[in-house]
Amino acid sequence: MGNNTNKLLNYYFQNLVKLVQKNKNTTKMIFWQEVLDMNVAPAGSIAHVWKGETMDEIMSEVYNVTFNGHPTILSTCWYLNYIRYGADWGYVNGDTTLRRGEYYECDPTGFIGTQAQKDLVLGGEAAMWGEYVDGTNLTPRLWPRASAVAERLC
């Protein structure tokens, strides 16, 4: 039979969806993007997009998810646990001018798509995973960077 992690994940999520639908059939489900990539999420499920390295890749991911009719939350641009050199949230020196940092430049509706697709974008969120974050560095990682995300999404 072998070891197939993808089959196991697919089996798990298929059964999870059935369980939720059986017990709470009006519940709106939110899935990480890879669950939608597995084609096990029900129609209308909310996609939480986190994939992509470059802005073009990120916008392509949002385009694909909205093209398939899923309401979308974007967090790819705003992972607060990532360490970057230079300012990601404030103003940074551009080639010839001062420009806004990455957190301000990311627009969840900045992809080329229809207005109907853009209307499916619910917004975004700042995310922080804890592998490299603890009580000694939580506050400086979180603030003021999270406030820049909030300001951008207003």
Per-domain residue ranges of the chain: 5-153
For residues 50 and 127, the answer to whether their CB atoms sit within 8 Å is yes
Q: For position 1, what pLDDT does the model report?
A: 53
**Summary mean pLDDT of the chain:** 87
Q: For position 108, what pLDDT does the model report?
A: 96
Within 10 angstroms of residue 104's Cβ, the number of other Cβ atoms is 17
Domain 5-153, classified CATH 3.20.20.80, yes or no: yes
Q: Considering the entire predicted model, what is its pTM?
A: 0.84
What is d(CA 12, CA 132) in angstroms, rounded to the nearest whole number? 29
Residue 101: what residue type? G
Pairing of strands 46-49, 91-93: unpaired
Strand intervals (E) in 41-96: 46-49, 72-74, 91-93
Give the pLDDT confidence of 42-58 residue by residue, as tens digits: 888 999 999 998 899 99
- Residues 120-145 have a mean pLDDT of 91
User: Torsion angle of alpha carbons 33, 39, 45, 50, nearest 10°?
Assistant: 0
Q: For position 86, what pLDDT does the model report?
A: 62
| Tokens coding 82 | 């990532």
Give the pLDDT confidence of 82-128 residue by residue, as tens digits: 876 666 766 666 666 556 678 888 999 999 999 999 999 999 999 99
Q: Is the pLDDT of residue 68 over 90?
A: yes
Q: For position 38, what pLDDT does the model report?
A: 87
User: Residues near 120 by Cβ (< 8 Å), separated by ≥ 6?
Assistant: 66, 69, 70, 71, 72
